[in-house]
Amino acid sequence: MVIGIVGAGSWGTALAQTFACNGHQVHLYARRSKHREELKITRENKKYLKGVNLVENIIISKSLNDTVADKDIVLMAVPTQTFRSVYEEVSDILVNKNQNPVILNVAKGIEKKTHLLLSSVAKDVRADSRYAVLSGPSHAEEVGRFKPTTVAIASDDIELSKELQNELMTSRFRIYANDDLKGVELGGALKNIIALGAGISDGIGFGDNARAALMTRGLVEMTRIGTAMGAKSETFSGLTGLGDLIVTCDSNHSRNRKCGILIGEGMKVSEAIEEVGMVVEGITTTEATYGLASKLNIEMPITEAIYKVIEGKINALEAVDILMGRDGKVE
């Protein structure tokens, strides 16, 4: 297959490595011309995936048109809040050429202004989009170095999920096919909120008990809003729910956890994001999910507490007091 990857951050670059080493021709596109030139000359993404040398059959594209035209798969590796605008550009190119390749999204989040999942955003942009999502416990730093990783690809069409599974799976990158598109997207998005909370807890200086409680009760919140939106409850116990939650809350590779640690240590949210140096999806996802939960009247106390910390309405210790001081519940 010929694959065009839009977005040369850590994740886009790691997947380019994986798929190119599996015999696919990969075209990788970075929006900034300076970044493209650096990738061409050094064959290394020094800012986002340092120490990983790009394999020979990764072509650094000179334009978005070259990246997406005449491809079997267009992989969207851009931040959630820019997905719509970038996909509008991609769609214009493809419609003009009367082409409709598979759109494989790897971003994990919810559009802040509309509270839509990215599958719905894609359909907004182009109604006949052949859309799938890749998600699961998969840090780019490990995928790019071919460390064993297992993910899921989901689509409303299980046959499309299976086709992508067959084409993209490798001996170090195992893929499960899934037809719960909404559940897989929600799991990947919502776990970033809980990872922020786990990081805040660690930054304050709390221990394993507090982190375990956040993860466990966080998974309850994820499942609660997910099933209310039509997702399958069992999806949240799988790779794209529990699996991704564990790795994002526990790993030093996790930018959401790192951002939370800095906030817990007393840093302002804006300063913490700047210190991380990459997109922290959990910030905007918390804001979007808080609004969505309010609209749907879904109880999400952990999400609400993290939202109030991000907004500066309470500090991290006050959030802990609120959560621990709630009325007793039956589990």
Give 131: exposed, middle or buried? Use CB within 10 Å, 0-12, 13-18, 19+. Answer: buried
List pLDDT tens digits, range 263-273: 999 999 999 99
| 173 and 192 co-located in one domain | no
Structure tokens at 329: 């519940």
Last residue of a domain, one of 148, 179, 210: 179
| For range 242-269, the mean pLDDT | 96
Q: What is the pLDDT of residue 269?
A: 96
| 9 and 136 co-located in one domain | yes
- Please report whether residue 60 resides in a domain: yes
> Whole-angstrom Cα distance, residue 62 to residue 270?
33
Structure tokens at 186: 């929600």
| 218 and 138 co-located in one domain | no
- Please report whether residue 330 resides in a domain: no
Q: What is the pLDDT of residue 118?
A: 98
- Please report whether residue 11 resides in a domain: yes
Q: How confident is the prediction for the chain on average, in pLDDT?
A: 97
Structure tokens at 233: 């409850």
Number of structural domains the chain divides into: 2
| 39 and 7 co-located in one domain | yes
| 259 and 296 co-located in one domain | yes
| 112 and 133 co-located in one domain | yes
User: Amino acid identity, residue 215?
Assistant: M
| 11 and 158 co-located in one domain | yes
| 203 and 154 co-located in one domain | no
DSSP 266-330: T--HHHHHHHH-S--HHHHHHHHHHHHHHHHT---HHHHHHHHHHTTSS-HHHHHHHHHTSPP--
- Please report whether residue 129 resides in a domain: yes
CATH number at residue 146: 3.40.50.720
User: Amino acid identity, residue 91?
Assistant: S
> Whole-angstrom Cα distance, residue 218 to residue 155?
25
- Please report whether residue 229 resides in a domain: yes
> Whole-angstrom Cα distance, residue 130 to residue 100?
7
| 37 and 64 co-located in one domain | yes
| 12 and 151 co-located in one domain | yes
Q: How long is the chain?
A: 331
| 145 and 294 co-located in one domain | no
Those residues whose C-beta lies under 8 Å from the C-beta of residue 162, and which sit 6 or more positions away, are: 177
User: Amino acid identity, residue 235?
Assistant: T
Whether the model clears a pTM of 0.85, i.e. scores above it, the answer is yes
Structure tokens at 196: 């922020």
Q: What is the pLDDT of residue 139?
A: 96
Last residue of a domain, one of 134, 154, 179: 179
Last residue of a domain, one of 179, 197, 227: 179
Q: Which helix (H) or strand (E) holds 51?
A: strand 49-53
Q: Which helix (H) or strand (E) holds 33?
A: helix 33-42
- Please report whether residue 202 resides in a domain: yes
Paired with 60 in beta bridges are 28
Structural domain span for residue 50 = 2-179
Instruction: Write down the H helix ranges in 169-276.
Output: 181-204, 208-228, 244-250, 255-264, 269-276
Q: What is the pLDDT of residue 39?
A: 97
Q: What is the pLDDT of residue 158?
A: 98
Q: What is the pLDDT of residue 331?
A: 81
| 122 and 13 co-located in one domain | yes
The residue assigned the tokens 């099933």 is 227
For the question of residue 191 being annotated catalytic, the response is yes
- Please report whether residue 161 resides in a domain: yes
- Please report whether residue 63 resides in a domain: yes
| For range 112-141, the mean pLDDT | 97
The answer to whether residues 320 and 330 touch, using CB atoms and an 8 Å cutoff, is no
List pLDDT tens digits, range 142-199: 999 999 999 999 999 999 999 999 999 999 999 999 999 999 999 999 999 999 999 9
| For range 263-291, the mean pLDDT | 96
DSSP 102-136: EEEE----B-TTT--BHHHHHHHH-TT-EEEEEES
Is residue 310 predicted with pLDDT exceeding 90? yes
Burial profile 163-172: b = 16 or more Cβ within 10 angstroms, e = fewer:
bbbebbbeeb
Q: Which helix (H) or strand (E) holds 147?
A: none
| 215 three-state secondary structure | helix
Q: What is the pLDDT of residue 329?
A: 87
Closest CA to 306 of 199, 146, 147: 199
Q: Which of 71, 108, 182, 191 is catalytic?
A: 191
CATH number at residue 269: 1.10.1040.10
pLDDT grade for 290, boundaries at 50, 70 and 90: very high
